[in-house]
Structure 1
Amino acid sequence: MKKSVVALLALSVVCIAFAAIFVKLSAAPASIISMYRMLFAGILLSPIVFEYRRELSRPSIKEWWALMAAGLFLAMHFGFWFASLQLTSVASSTVILALQPLVAMVAAYLLYKEKVSARMLTAVFTSFFGVVLISWGDFSFTDLSAIFGNMLSFLGVMAVVAYFLIGQNTVRNLTHWVYSFLVFSIAGIFLLIYNIVTGTELIRYESREWGLFLLLALLPTIAHVIFNYLLNELSPATVSMAMLLEPVGASFLAYFILSESLTLLQVVGGLIVLTGVYFFLFSQHRERHARTL
């Protein structure tokens, strides 16, 4: 692997790992953080989308409904995940978020009857056992907020899987840039409506908060741009496996920046989850490779 590719891969992991830290540092409501994360990301993508503006007339009425649904689920994903980060540790929340490919496999099996190998099932059960250990490590008779935070993180996983399933199976005639711009913007509008209906303050926040909102949109967006570029150099499986370093990087940053500590059960559970997800992605890659031979 080229040194430049390794450097870009490392940069993307660091960028995306900072997302959880910025949420933790913010004192704003989770729905506000999520809203500006989406709206600012849409604004950042708009110069690129301008070059592809003709695509905006391509979606049919059915596809616009799919885009609306995808945007709604994406809004729910960030709303749930950011709320979870305000209740549980960065390590627990981000590790549970790593379950996304496993939940996607289960959903694809239930909805589209896609075949599941014994290796993949073993990876699923291994990872869910790790999640149980994480939640057990967060358990306290005096404070159950961390458990609730873990549940919100898992709801965030369910929402993002629904978002990906809609995008992969409904809207096929848009470039990644235009699709991302549309669903980011739609998600931001849904969150804006939610905040207006619930009477949440929209604009009166300190400059520090606005800086965090912008950084939260900027760094993960840079990470996704790098991931898309690296798909020209690396296989999707390699990029997906590299993304498993996000919980590790986020936990490392949380230890030094937020002084968050880890229990032994959280560490063991996190390692089990990441091991299960790794073997799932590895098995998936091997099966796809075998089918192409």
Structure 2
Amino acid sequence: MNKPVINPFIPIFIGVISVSLSAILVKLANADSGVIAFYRMLFSVLLMSPIFLLKYTQEIKLLTKRDWVFSGIAGVFLAFHFILWFESLHYTSVASSTVLVTMQPLFAFIGTYFFFGEKISIKTIIAAAVAIAGSVLISWGDFRVSGTALYGDILALIACALITGYLLFGQDVRQRLSLITYTMVVYTSSTICLFFYVLFKGESFGPYPAIDWMWFVLLAIVPNLLGHTLFNWSLKFVSTNVISIAILFEPIGAAILAFFVFSEHIILSQVIGGSVIIVGIMLFVVDLDKIKNFFRKNA
């Protein structure tokens, strides 16, 4: 891998903090979930437009009919991921919702098995079982706290499945397009989908207080363009597994921020369940053979 100008773990750390702010900013905004998602995507598209128009418009010609269809589906999946995840934050805690949404790697192995025929190993099955056990612990604890919290957990899990679908449909297209062009196409289709969703639901596009417009713009800049862009930059210098493990700390950052911003207290079942889920996903993304060989060499 190329040698970076700065240590890649610095932008990775900033990226994790950035995406951790997503749930906080959503809860601070005083608008319906569809509206928040719409403005998050709209401002992301507007902010990316100057770069795209100056350097990447020619790549649009490379898109085939299949690319347009897959990109459109990816955008719809992304739109409804945001709608359901933002909605879940009205019913359950930031900690529970964010932990369940970051179970994405486990949904991914199911998707890659059916879409690309990738084999499922014993390690993967064990990792899935561990993570599912953790989600049951969180959901059981939330059910005991309130039935509405359990409903929020279910919405977060569906949102997690949708973001996996978004990644699977985009995987093929991304091989032929630059990050900017692919992101621009998907974000635009997602924005259009959200526009009609808000229109259909009869939710209000405005007016909103100035503070809400600030939250909308920050959602576009911080978790969308700053957080995920830094992760994508870091992929040039570190393994995807490093990024995957780093994202597992998003729920921790979100829970800490929620404690200070909203005074949300974390119950024992959330701590245990979240820890179990993180262990399960780490089992999935970490190469155990490499770890064994490392200890053998350094024994």
Per the normalisation by structure 1, the TM-score is 0.93
Q: Give the corresponding residue for 2:286.
A: 282
Q: Give the corresponding residue for 2:23.
A: 20
The answer (yes or no) to whether the contact 1:129–1:273 under 8 Å persists in 2 is yes
Letter in 2 for 1:240: S
Task: Quote the Cα distance in structure 1 between the aligned partners of 2:286 and 2:16.
Answer: 19
- CA gap of 1:284–1:36, structure 2 versus 1, over 3 A, is farther
1:272 aligns with 2:276: yes
Question: Aligned-pair distance for 1:169?
Answer: 2.8
Q: Give the corresponding residue for 2:93.
A: 89
Task: Quote the Cα distance in structure 1 between the aligned partners of 2:184 and 2:289.
Answer: 29
1:243 aligns with 2:247: yes
Structure 1 residue corresponding to 2:40, chosen from 37, 41, 59: 37
Structure 2 residue corresponding to 1:199, chosen from 199, 202, 212: 202
Question: Aligned-pair distance for 1:4?
Answer: 3.6
The answer (yes or no) to whether the contact 2:33–2:87 under 8 Å persists in 1 is yes
- CA gap of 1:285–1:229, structure 2 versus 1, over 3 A, is farther
Task: Quote the Cα distance in structure 1 between the aligned partners of 2:288 and 2:115.
Answer: 18
Structure 2 residue corresponding to 1:257, chosen from 256, 261, 265: 261
Could you report, residue by residue, the CA deviation over 1:144-196 in whole angstroms, capped at 9, with x for unpaired residues?
11111111111111111111111113453211111111111110110101111
Q: Which shows bigger deviation, 100-109 or 40-49?
A: 40-49
Give ranges in structure 1 of 5+ residues lacking alignment. Answer: 288-293
Letter in 2 for 1:196: L
SS at match of 1:234: coil
Taking only aligned residues, the RMSD between alpha carbons, in angstroms, comes to 2.0
Q: Give the corresponding residue for 2:71.
A: 67
- CA gap of 1:285–1:237, structure 2 versus 1, over 3 A, is farther
Task: Quote the Cα distance in structure 1 between the aligned partners of 2:287 and 2:149.
Answer: 32
How many residues were matched structurally?
287
Deviating 4+ runs (over 3 angstroms): 1-4, 283-287
1:46 aligns with 2:39: no
Task: Quote the Cα distance in structure 2 between the aligned partners of 1:231 and 1:163.
Answer: 19
1:125 aligns with 2:129: yes
Letter in 2 for 1:11: I
Q: Give the corresponding residue for 2:116.
A: 112
Counterparts of 1:144-159 in structure 2 under 5 Å? Answer: 144-159=147-162
Task: Quote the Cα distance in structure 2 between the aligned partners of 1:137 and 1:90.
Answer: 14
Q: Which shows bigger deviation, 90-99 or 112-121?
A: 112-121
Question: Aligned-pair distance for 1:256?
Answer: 0.9
Letter in 2 for 1:120: T
Task: Quote the Cα distance in structure 2 between the aligned partners of 1:117 and 1:283.
Answer: 12
Per the normalisation by structure 2, the TM-score is 0.91
